[in-house]
Amino acid sequence: MNHDVMITCAITGDDTKVTKSPHCPVSPEQIAGAAIDAARAGAAIVHIHVRDPDTGAFSMETKHYREVVKRIRDSKVDVIVNLTCGMGGYICVGDNGMKDTPAPGTDFVSQEDRMRHVIDLCQEGLYRPDIATLDCGSLNFGDSNRAYVSTPNYLRKGAGILRDLGVKAELEIFDTGNLWFAKQMMKEGLVPSPPLVQLCAGIAYGVPADTGHLLAMVNSLDPGTIWTSFAISRMQMPWVAQSVLLGGNVRVGLEDNLYLSRGVYASNAQLVEKARTIIEAMGARVITAAQTRERLGLR
């Protein structure tokens, strides 16, 4: 069991279904405000996607990330900023091979373009993130013709970029093969110690949200790996307890689950508060951003 737990809050994600929640933040001001509230509720890390303020659709624009990070920093609330690098990996295929592929919905771009906002903010020097995520493998995403593509060489390039920028990589793992390759990148020196791994469960068709699969992945982690995990939808809060029991940390937030209870929409801060209640009822404590920064070796 982990007795000193760091909480990550994933604020909004990229899925349009999240916007049906009245608490879904869309504009940079709203996203930053939700992140600040989550931090005040006990989140040490906030995981950030941005959206087009006019449409609510996901965005890759550096200007939106810059505004979110600026607002968080200007608030003087101590929280670790984690920016996604996951956008730009979807390929939608047609039913007739290359005749109708790529199909509408494809946003596939180079690894550098997936990370353009992180590169820009680091080069500007004012609002650099502490952490950025890499989705560590390809996956049939959903139940139709959409796949997320993240190849070994794309990932090697992404990990190298983050290493050279001095931004800590969070390695998001959606299936057991993803973890196999993440460990390979560690062996190749692309991921500085201590490695930070996020085990993601319940997303079709990745690793299922059950104890056996999580335990198998945890048992295969190298010594010294810092890990956290989440499951989506109604499994979000049971996964808080499961992660802590197995020695890990937790992630909650609207990216992964919209509800506080059946039919009751949650805010990000409410989900953090509920996770904190579970953690503390188990006899563990929630650690601060400063303590998390020290544990992760962040500058």
pLDDT score, position 200:
97
What is the mean pLDDT of the segment spanning 247-274? 97
Q: Which two tokens stand for residue 9?
A: 């809050």
pLDDT for 159-191, tens place per residue? 999 999 999 999 999 999 999 999 999 999 999
What is the mean pLDDT of the segment spanning 27-44? 98
Residues 123, 8: Cα–Cα separation, whole Å: 26
Contact at 8 Å (CB) between 42 and 80?
no
pLDDT score, position 143:
84
Strand 146-148 and strand 90-92: pairing? antiparallel
Q: Look at residues 154, 165, 175, 74 and name the one whose alpha carbon lies nearest to residue 112.
A: 154
Residues 111, 9: Cα–Cα separation, whole Å: 25
Integer CA distances (angstroms), 35 to 145, 203, 253, 270, 286, in order: 33, 23, 10, 12, 17
**DSSP code string of 152-208:** HHHHHHHHHHHHHHT-EEEEEESSHHHHHHHHHHHHTT-SPSSPEEEEEES-TTSS-
Task: Tell me the backbone φ, ψ of residue 253, rounded to 5 degrees.
Answer: 135, 165
pLDDT score, position 211:
92
Where along the chain do its domains lie?
A: 4-86+109-138+148-296
pLDDT for 190-207, tens place per residue? 999 999 999 999 998 899
pLDDT score, position 142:
82
- DSSP 3-state of 142: coil
Contact at 8 Å (CB) between 13 and 256?
yes
- Write down the pTM of the prediction: 0.96
Cβ burial, residue 153 (10 Å; 0-12/13-18/19+)? exposed
Residues 239, 172: Cα–Cα separation, whole Å: 16
Contact at 8 Å (CB) between 12 and 255?
yes
Residues 158, 95: Cα–Cα separation, whole Å: 31
pLDDT for 58-117, tens place per residue? 999 999 999 999 999 999 999 999 999 999 999 999 999 999 999 999 999 999 999 999
List beta partners, residue 4: 285
CATH of range 4-86+109-138+148-296; options 2.40.40.20, 3.20.20.70, 3.40.50.1950, 3.40.50.2300: 3.20.20.70
